[in-house]
Amino acid sequence: MATNRTFTMIKPDAVAEGNSGAIIKIIEEAGFRIVAIKKTLLTPERAGEFYAVHAERPFYADLCGYMSSGPIIPMILEKENAVADFRALIGATDPSKAAEGTIRKQFAKSVQANAIHGSDSDENAAIEGFFFFAGVEQF
């Protein structure tokens, strides 16, 4: 399997509750290398751009409000089979359906405030990484 990359962000609920360090420790112990990392704040407009694929969904406006409600920690991660392995590590979107031991099972508060994002394809991982980080910041 080729070493490749995924994109993640620790969402406002998990950052606000002081869970960032614990989550990053889980990610590194699972074998992911941090390629890029920072703490930043999305405007509602930028959140809407990031989640544009969900623009027609009933939860879109709430999602944009929530994702801009406090600081987030976006990261680019590298590992063999990064996208699929990271989705497995974070668990299902709805934390009540997330498997034991997953990040969402441990830290998510609700379907919306579900602690962490994970890209769903190699193509989206690259797009989402460049949404937050210039090429020279990815190393």
For residue 41, the 8-state DSSP code is: -
For residue 138, the 8-state DSSP code is: -
Tokens found for residue 20:
């960032």
Least separation in angstroms between CB 35 and ligand DAT: 20
Name the segment binding Mg ion (CB under 5 A); options: 39-47, 66-74, 100-108, 113-121: 113-121
Tokens found for residue 102:
């997953």
Known binder of ligand: residue 93? yes
5: enclosing H helix or E strand = strand 3-10
Catalytic (active site) residue 54: no
Size of the site for ligand DAT (CB under 6 A): 9
Taking the least distance from each CB to Mg ion, the nearer of 85 and 120 is 120
Exposure on the CB side of residue 6, measured as CA atoms within 13 A: 24
Known binder of ligand: residue 46? no
Q: How far apart are CA 112 and CA 98, in angstroms?
A: 14
Q: How far apart are CA 23 and CA 137, in angstroms?
A: 22
Identify residues 108-137 at the interface with ligand DAT (CB under 6 A).
111-112, 114, 117, 120
Mask 84-103, x = binds ligand DAT (CB under 6 A)?
A: ---------x----------
Question: Where is the binding site for ATP, in residues?
Answer: 11, 59, 87, 93, 104, 114
Question: Where is the binding site, in residues?
Answer: 11, 59, 87, 93, 104, 114
